[in-house]
Amino acid sequence: MKNVTILPSPLSFIGYPMNFPPMLKALIPNSKVIEPHLDILKVMEKENKEEILSAAEEVCKNTGFDDKNTAYLMFLANVVDQEHKPGDIIAAMKKYKMYDKFAKDANTDVVVIIIDYLRCANESLDLMPSFTKKLKEENDSKIILAGPLMYKNDLEVLSAQFEKLPHVDAICYGEDEVTVPQACEKLLNGENPGDIDGVGVRGKKTFKHTFVKDLNTLPIPDYSDTRMEEYLNYRAGTPSLTVWASRGCTAKCVFCDETNIWHPYRSRNPELVAEEMKHFHKKYKIKAYRMNDLLLNGDLQHLNKLCDLLKGNNKFFWGGMARAESSWNRALFDKMYDAGCRFLWFGIESYSEKMIEHMKKRIDPKEIIPITKAAKDSGMRVVSLLIDKFPGQTENDVKKTKELIKMLKENGCQYHVTNFRLPRYSEMGRHPEKFGLKLKTEEKPSAVCFFEDLNKTYDGQLKDNPNFWYWPLEGTPIVTEF
């Protein structure tokens, strides 16, 4: 019987399973999910075990933190940090020939490779020419490249991708649940999938944006092939999964590609969201869920309904991203807490009104502190996400953001700073000249652009967060990289 193998990105997140491979498994008959990136994790853990143990023991000794296992997982996560140490991981892959072994033993008709992790998407794409060549030589499998980061930009990008990836048979753009099952069926039947909207093949001239129009039609992901116990769960201190309550965003921030990738905004029936969380709690004892949504407050009616369905929930906790908008109030935060919401990440980016307007954030800086404080006072962990080195940033802009950081700390809220990066499919990536940016010549398909900043951008050096911190949640120690 013909079969399909689904692979996560070579450099994929190891904190908890990404849900695209299990979702595709639920949609594609006779398919299986293989996770070679976890084999890399095991190898690097073995090579660095003494160093990791020593670091974990030292931090426990110096801080009084008494959960050495959780501390160990945090330091292990640092060793296999895909974002900051991709070179180490790629070196281990090559040393132990992990993907060569898969290519030789695959015995599959179609291989679907999911590029779904923005922070190291370029590095994963860099591995594709050699890996797909080996896969084709050893197995003669049909190869599909997919995932949200293979978002269709234009025909020029498509041509460049196929030129650099001559062994790939099809590239699925848009939302995987629409395109990948159809493309697999065509290839298994010996047919060309080029007539499918959102599927790129050599020579194709037109495209149409594809997306799941009704999220309520999606099945519950099938994690039966997922090696749950091998993911680190270092952020939550307990087994975790991701869940969709909505897709898309109600905002159009100029630096964000996801608002375009997941366009348009859609909500999922709260009853299905609650049912899915309860299902995996019962089946796998899952106690923590990260909502994949770009914002939890995109549809307050749905959020309120979800909280009604989970009223008094003390079996598992959940949380996700949010916008700091005036629609928030303490009563809603209290209701969310009662339903099991324990963490919120607010996309703040800056405290400078000028920069917020430049970013097209459409939030009022005056509301940031009252909103984050209300969420924190309800009992939730609150993290404000900030961006440094944003093109055009001045010393005065940084001064204002430092004032925000001081107030956040006083209120018991956390913050996390990332340096500006330029996603190809953001408004800034598509029209860099409007923002004083010049793209550098690229000879490979990429999700993040290399650029020259023509602005006199001030380096605020805001990224001074501690490497880790602990947060007790109902007796469970929480360790994150923040």
**180, 200, 220 — which closes off a domain?**
200
pLDDT band at 468 (very low <50, low <70, confident <90, very high): very low
In this structure, is residue 208 part of a structural domain? no
Q: Is the pLDDT of residue 210 over 90?
A: no
The pLDDT of residue 349 is 97
Query: Residue 390 is part of a domain; what is its CATH number?
Result: 3.20.20.70
Same domain, 278 and 190: no
Structure tokens at 285: 């004892």
pLDDT band at 453 (very low <50, low <70, confident <90, very high): very high
Same domain, 342 and 397: yes
Same domain, 453 and 314: yes
The pLDDT of residue 476 is 39
Q: Is the pLDDT of residue 224 over 60?
A: yes
- pLDDT tens digits for 40-86? 888 888 888 998 888 888 878 877 777 777 778 777 877 777 666 77
Q: CA gyration radius for the chain?
A: 22
In this structure, is residue 118 part of a structural domain? yes
pTM of the full structure: 0.90
- pLDDT tens digits for 95-114? 888 888 888 888 899 999 99
- Residue with the bigger pLDDT between 75 and 224: it is 224
In this structure, is residue 297 part of a structural domain? yes
Q: How many domains does the chain have?
A: 2
Lowest mean pLDDT among 78-92, 157-171, 422-436: 78-92
Structure tokens at 200: 């790129």
The DSSP result for 73-89, as a single string, is: HHHHHHHT-TTT-HHHH
In this structure, is residue 72 part of a structural domain? no
Q: What distance in Å separates the CA atoms of residue 342 and residue 257, rounded to the nearest whole number?
A: 27
Structural contact between residues 173 and 152, judged by C-beta atoms closer than 8 angstroms: yes
Q: Is the pLDDT of residue 153 over 60?
A: no
- Please compute the mean of the pLDDT values over residues 341-364 and round it to a whole number: 96
- Please compute the mean of the pLDDT values over residues 201-217 and round it to a whole number: 86
E-strand spans in 240-287? 240-243, 246-247, 266-267
pLDDT band at 229 (very low <50, low <70, confident <90, very high): confident
Same domain, 245 and 155: no
Q: Is the pLDDT of residue 475 over 50?
A: no
- Please compute the mean of the pLDDT values over residues 273-280 and round it to a whole number: 98
- Residue with the bigger pLDDT between 284 and 119: it is 284
Same domain, 153 and 251: no
Structural contact between residues 13 and 117, judged by C-beta atoms closer than 8 angstroms: yes
The pLDDT of residue 96 is 82
Same domain, 295 and 416: yes
pLDDT band at 393 (very low <50, low <70, confident <90, very high): very high
Structural contact between residues 447 and 115, judged by C-beta atoms closer than 8 angstroms: yes
Same domain, 21 and 92: yes
- Please compute the mean of the pLDDT values over residues 308-318 and round it to a whole number: 95
Q: What distance in Å separates the CA atoms of residue 400 and residue 365, rounded to the nearest whole number?
A: 10
Structural contact between residues 350 and 384, judged by C-beta atoms closer than 8 angstroms: no
In this structure, is residue 24 part of a structural domain? yes
The pLDDT of residue 68 is 79
* Dihedral angle over CA of 70, 75, 80, 82, nearest 10: 90
Same domain, 251 and 397: yes
Query: Residue 47 is part of a domain; what is its CATH number?
Result: 3.40.50
How high is the mean pLDDT of the chain? Answer: 87
Same domain, 299 and 359: yes
Q: Which domain holds residue 239?
A: 235-480
The separation between CA 165 and the C-alpha centre of its own chain, rounded to angstroms, equals 24
Structural contact between residues 113 and 5, judged by C-beta atoms closer than 8 angstroms: no
Q: What distance in Å separates the CA atoms of residue 275 and residue 268, rounded to the nearest whole number?
A: 12
Q: Is the pLDDT of residue 471 over 60?
A: no
Same domain, 290 and 427: yes
In this structure, is residue 163 part of a structural domain? yes
Structure tokens at 467: 């490497």
**Overall size of the chain counted in residues:** 482
In this structure, is residue 419 part of a structural domain? yes
Structure tokens at 299: 């549809």
Structure tokens at 381: 């962990």
The pLDDT of residue 82 is 66
Q: What distance in Å separates the CA atoms of residue 170 and residue 181, rounded to the nearest whole number?
A: 12
Please name the residues in contact with 76: beta carbons below 8 A apart, sequence gap of 6 or more: 45, 48, 52, 232, 234
In this structure, is residue 216 part of a structural domain? no
The pLDDT of residue 407 is 96
- Residue with the bigger pLDDT between 93 and 294: it is 294
E-strand spans in 270-365? 288-291, 317-322, 341-349
Q: Is the pLDDT of residue 296 over 70?
A: yes
- Residue with the bigger pLDDT between 480 and 237: it is 237
Q: Is the pLDDT of residue 217 over 50?
A: yes
Same domain, 11 and 125: yes
Same domain, 310 and 435: yes
Q: Is the pLDDT of residue 431 over 50?
A: yes
Q: Percent of the chain scored above 70 by pLDDT? A: 90
